[in-house]
Amino acid sequence: MEEELVVISKSIVTPRNVKKPTSVKKIHLTPWDLSRLRFGYLQRGLLFPKPDPKTDIIISQLQASLSVALDRFYPLAGRLVKLANEDDTVSFFISCDGSGVEFVHAMAKNIELSDVLQLSGSVPRVFGSFFPATGIKNYHGVSRSLLMVQVTEIKDGVFIGFGYNSTVADATSIWKFINSWSEICSKDSGSETFQRCLHLKGWFFDRIDYPIHIPDPETKPTSYVTSTNLQEKMFHVTKENVLKLEAKTNYEADQKISSIQAVLAYIWLSMVKHSGMSQEEETHCRLPINMRQRLNPPLEEECFGNVSQTGIATVTVGELLDHGLGWAAMQINNMELSQTDEKAKEFAENWVKNIKIPVSVGSKDLVVTNSHRFDVYCNDFGWGKPIAARAGPPYLNGRLVVFKGIDQESLDFQACLLPQVVEKLLEDVEFNDYVCIV
């Protein structure tokens, strides 16, 4: 599809009470935040059928309610600040200055709901232009907004896409913000129920001084070798097949395996089986771990910020293929169990001693992002609930974005893979018995 997207307007949405002083002016960045500075903004979006009200009314409602939501979630309206240190390093913090959020209104009148739902073809394609932060790195937050929003009208629907800087928020926090924004918009309300105090993560690495001094992430080139020959597919796993995979995995495993661990292990095993990798090569399953309740003392679940650590299960291709599904799931489970307070603080202290700010993760990994725990389908902005949730660029071989399925207890995965892997998965009879590929 070569249909063009037309930008109708661009604006900055500031918190409603932008002149009201926030309770916190400065948020120092932790090793978890700083290690992400060279990654691109994470981008997500929700697809809706065409609303009844006129579009200009919808846009004004979205902007007004966003302004109210930013009153509470004020770090998203701030900017990164980079300070030069005397030892030729730099330090970063978030300034909660109310600079605002970039808001784009666009139109792609020849695109239909079915085009977005099918996700057919190679990437990038026109759908990538539905997201506002493509190409923006986290360190660009010194001049670009930490949250960006784009509302795109299509022929028979509306797509609300957003990109966010992962130094200011993790997926848990950003979806809580979207939940609040949609509720405010649907109820046309700025009542006190939406203005309760925001709990920030604070500084929980007691043995590390802040601000942390790091090499300037902009001094090294951020380009890296990436394949442009990638395909995106949606993997849908029904409730029935989730339960079948959970039962199959637990029959093979020596420990209790959850349903999501079972499905992720099955996808990891299937992708590696068709990857063409040698038996000796290492493969990793990277999974975001919400550390709020794992820290000591634990943080509140409502705590806002980036409190996510990447857990990595590492095996060789030969081990994975020889041992099978139950063993693969146990590697994921053991990795998750190992994400303790002490391990988190040990990682942070070691990182400060040997600072590494990667550009990307390995192309031979299964890189899991988002979570089935986020209720993406509750986000009704006033004209009905979304019919699909999707992720945008950056595209990476092995990326697997997890969404709660629209059917009860089903799972959706937005997979980005090499064409030859997709072709072999489509031909894999057992895989297609468990997973519907769209």
Please state, in angstroms and rounded to a whole number, the distance separating the CA atoms of residues 305 and 76.
10
Please state, in angstroms and rounded to a whole number, the distance separating the CA atoms of residues 199 and 46.
26
Catalytic residue among 380, 407, 428, 433: 380
Concatenating the DSSP letter of every residue in 339-381 gives --HHHHHHHHHHHHHS----S---TTSEEEEE-TTS-GGG---
Rg (CA), the chain: 22
In this structure, are residues 337 and 368 in contact, taking their beta carbons and an 8 Å threshold? Answer: no
Q: What angle do CA 385, 386, 388 make, to 5 degrees?
A: 150
- Indicate if 380 belongs to the active site: yes
Pairing of strands 90-95, 79-84: antiparallel
Please state, in angstroms and rounded to a whole number, the distance separating the CA atoms of residues 372 and 385.
17
In this structure, are residues 118 and 132 in contact, taking their beta carbons and an 8 Å threshold? Answer: no
- Residue 369's DSSP bridge partners are 401
74 phi and psi angles, rounded to 5 deg? -65, -25
Neighbours of 362 (CB within 10 A): 16
DSSP 8-state assignment for residue 54: -
Residue with tokens 């907004």: 145
In this structure, are residues 231 and 422 in contact, taking their beta carbons and an 8 Å threshold? Answer: yes
User: How far is C-alpha 74 from the geometric centre of its chain's CA atoms?
Assistant: 20
Burial class (CB within 10 angstroms; exposed 0-12, middle 13-18, buried 19+) of 4: exposed
Please state, in angstroms and rounded to a whole number, the distance separating the CA atoms of residues 324 and 321.
5
Is the N-terminal amide bond of 298 cis, ω within 30° of 0? Answer: no
Please state, in angstroms and rounded to a whole number, the distance separating the CA atoms of residues 73 and 69.
6
Please state, in angstroms and rounded to a whole number, the distance separating the CA atoms of residues 178 and 149.
11
| Element holding 62 (H helix, E strand) | helix 55-72
**Which residues are known to be catalytic?**
380
